[in-house]
């Protein structure tokens, strides 16, 4: 499909880079006509990106060996025919499907021979991953409306309905048979090949997406005990917070809340994709059922009512657990913020006490320093006066002065003390200014 638009004189408009992909998406999985009667074996396998790449390569090799067209690297679906068998391959984000359309050997005897004897074509390609879905669908003619689903399926689990105009009856019991196949019957009462192909594909999609949607239930059941434990411990920690005193006790509670939050986030991160996928697959199932337009058949439950009773509780369980995880995360965050505030306040109180102690210690140091300075002034003055006394006595003995040395030394004492005090004060002032 070309993405370019041609206008007058052969000129072309520059297309958007994604225009071709967008235009092709609505035609990505077209319905293919199916002639009645027909036997259809449908498989779905879980595939990681690595497995999907290997599966594409295996399918290409399978096609090349038989001289038929192989899928292109960008193809998400491919349909080929070989040996009177039609193979439809589709690759999705997390699973890959193989659908084999086989001739019906016994159109008047549904599901004969058993599917296990007809599944040999699936062994021609390597299994791309763990099998999720295996369906044995039998499309048979029933213009005279003589087929009774009650004779073919388990009555306790049987669900059957007609399409919107009554041209087809489809029924199943959603149970795996001895070979592991879920059997689905479609009775053609005037569908035509194109509508038969569309109905067959929609019914297969319902069974496939139903199975995929329910993959979220085991995950919810696995996480349920962990979420209950976190809820219980949160209530206990919150109650303990009311009576806890002291930094150490509050820090211990905060560490436990942090551990609970980490456990919750780990579970939520692991289940986020699965729960989101379950919601999306369930929505696809519901849309397919609406598109078919079901009508009741006798007293049998329709597929919509059967799945609403059996499947809806499982989907609701996943949604409820996801809501509990979100609400619990908010509660843990609020409780942790409250405890963190209390810890911060207590730390600030401790810091205030430390600063107060440091101030007191500094005041004592200043007092001690002042005392030492006073003593140092006296000591220095004593040495200065002593030196001055030696000087005066020497001068007196030499006859250079006539003042009594003792009198001169005594008169110099206050001068020496004042001079030393002034010098010490100047030095301390310079140090204080330099520190500022």
Tell me the backbone φ, ψ of residue 368, rounded to 5 degrees.
-65, -40
SS3 139: strand
pLDDT at 186: 95
The more confidently predicted of residues 404 and 293 is: 293
Tell me the backbone φ, ψ of residue 13, rounded to 5 degrees.
-90, 140
Q: Give me the sheet containing 38-46, strands edge to edge.
A: 77-82, 85-91, 95-103, 38-46, 131-141, 182-188, 168-176, 159-162, 295-296
Mean pLDDT across the chain: 87
SS3 193: helix
The more confidently predicted of residues 136 and 373 is: 136
pLDDT at 29: 64
User: Quick one: how far is CA 326 from the chain centroid?
Assistant: 12
Please identify which residue in the block is written with the tokens 């690759």: 91
Report pLDDT digits (tens) over 407-424: 888 888 888 888 878 887
**Contact 405/389 with Cβ under 8 angstroms?**
yes
pLDDT at 182: 96
SS3 433: helix
The more confidently predicted of residues 22 and 189 is: 189
Token pair for 235: 């209530």
Report pLDDT digits (tens) over 52-89: 999 999 999 999 999 999 998 888 889 999 988 999 99
Q: Pick the closest to residue 170 from 201, 143, 203 (CA basis).
A: 203
* CA-CA-CA-CA dihedral for 79, 81, 86, 87, to nearest 10: -40
SS3 397: helix
Local confidence band at 41 (pLDDT 50, 70, 90 cut-offs): very high
Report pLDDT digits (tens) over 183-227: 999 999 999 999 999 999 999 999 999 999 999 999 999 999 999
SS3 365: helix
Report DSSP letters for 62-126, one per residue. HHHHTT-PPPPTT-SEEEEEETTEEEEEEE-SSEEEEEEEEE-S-TTSTT-S-GGGT-GGGGGS-
pLDDT at 306: 93
For residue 316, the surrounding DSSP H or E stretch is helix 312-397
Local confidence band at 20 (pLDDT 50, 70, 90 cut-offs): confident
Average pLDDT over residues 127-147: 91
Report pLDDT digits (tens) over 88-130: 999 998 999 999 999 987 777 899 999 999 999 898 899 999 9
Left (φ > 0), alpha (ψ -120 to 50) or beta: where does 384 sit? alpha
Report DSSP letters for 198-243, one per residue. HHHHHHHHHHHHHHHHTTHHHHHHHHHHHHHHHHHHHHHHHHHHHH
User: Cα-atom radius of gyration of the chain, to the nearest Å?
Assistant: 46
**Contact 95/209 with Cβ under 8 angstroms?**
no
pLDDT at 245: 73
pLDDT at 25: 63
Cβ-proximal residues to 148 (8 Å cutoff; 6+ apart), any chain:
none
Token pair for 274: 């699965």
pLDDT at 434: 64
Compute the 3-state secondary structure of the chain and give helix, strand, coil in percent, each to the nearest 5.
60, 15, 25
Sign of the torsion formed by the C-alpha atoms of 195, 201, 203 and 206: negative
Local confidence band at 349 (pLDDT 50, 70, 90 cut-offs): confident
d(CA 336, CA 253): 9
Token pair for 155: 């009555």
Token pair for 137: 């669908």
Token pair for 187: 């009775």
C-alpha separations of 264 from 168, 311, 327, 335, 404 in Å: 49, 26, 11, 14, 97
Average pLDDT over residues 296-307: 92
SS3 379: helix
d(CA 393, CA 28): 121
pTM: 0.76
pLDDT at 108: 78
Tell me the backbone φ, ψ of residue 184, rounded to 5 degrees.
-130, 130
């Amino acid at each position: 499909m070309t993405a370019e638009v041609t206008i007058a004189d052969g000129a072309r408009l520059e297309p958007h880079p994604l225009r071709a992909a967008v235009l092709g998406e609505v035609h990505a999985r077209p319905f293919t006509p199916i002639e009645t009667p027909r036997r259809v074996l449908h498989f779905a396998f879980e595939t990681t990106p690595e497995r999907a790449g290997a599966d594409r390569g295996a399918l290409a090799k399978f096609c090349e060996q038989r001289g038929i067209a192989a899928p292109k690297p960008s193809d998400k679906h491919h349909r080929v025919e070989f040996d009177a068998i039609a193979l439809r391959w589709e690759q999705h984000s997390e699973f890959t499907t193989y659908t084999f359309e086989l001739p019906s050997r016994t159109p008047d005897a549904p599901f004969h021979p058993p599917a296990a004897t007809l599944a040999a074509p699936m062994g021609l390609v390597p299994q791309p991953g763990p099998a999720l879905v295996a369906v044995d669908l039998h499309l048979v003619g029933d213009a005279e409306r003589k087929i009774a689903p009650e004779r073919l399926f388990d009555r306790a689990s049987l669900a059957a309905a007609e399409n919107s105009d009554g041209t087809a009856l489809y029924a199943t019991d959603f149970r795996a048979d001895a070979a592991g196949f879920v059997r689905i019957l479609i009775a053609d009462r005037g569908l035509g090949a194109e509508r038969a192909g569309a109905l067959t594909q929609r019914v297969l999609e319902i069974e496939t997406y139903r199975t995929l949607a329910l993959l979220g239930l085991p995950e919810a059941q696995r996480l349920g005990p962990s979420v209950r434990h976190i809820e219980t411990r949160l209530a206990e920690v919150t109650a303990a917070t009311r009576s806890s005193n002291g930094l150490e006790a509050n820090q211990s509670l905060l560490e436990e809340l942090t551990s609970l939050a980490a456990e919750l986030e780990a579970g939520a991160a692991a289940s986020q994709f699965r729960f989101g996928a379950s919601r999306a697959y369930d929505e696809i199932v519901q849309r397919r059922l609406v598109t078919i337009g079901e009508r009741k058949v006798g007293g049998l439950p329709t597929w919509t009512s059967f799945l609403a009773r059996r499947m809806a509780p499982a989907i609701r369980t996943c949604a409820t657990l996801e809501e509990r995880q979100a609400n619990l995360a908010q509660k843990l965050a609020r409780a942790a913020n409250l405890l963190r505030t209390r810890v911060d306040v207590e730390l600030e109180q401790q810091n205030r006490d430390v600063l107060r102690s440091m101030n007191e210690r500094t005041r004592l140091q200043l007092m001690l320093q002042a005392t030492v300075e006073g003593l140092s002034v006296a000591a220095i003055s004593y040495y200065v006066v002593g030196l001055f006394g030696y000087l005066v006595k020497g001068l007196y003995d030499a006859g250079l002065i006539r003042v009594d040395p003792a009198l001169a030394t005594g008169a110099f004492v206050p001068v020496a003390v004042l001079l030393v005090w002034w010098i010490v004060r100047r030095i301390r002032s310079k140090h204080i200014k330099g520190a500022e």
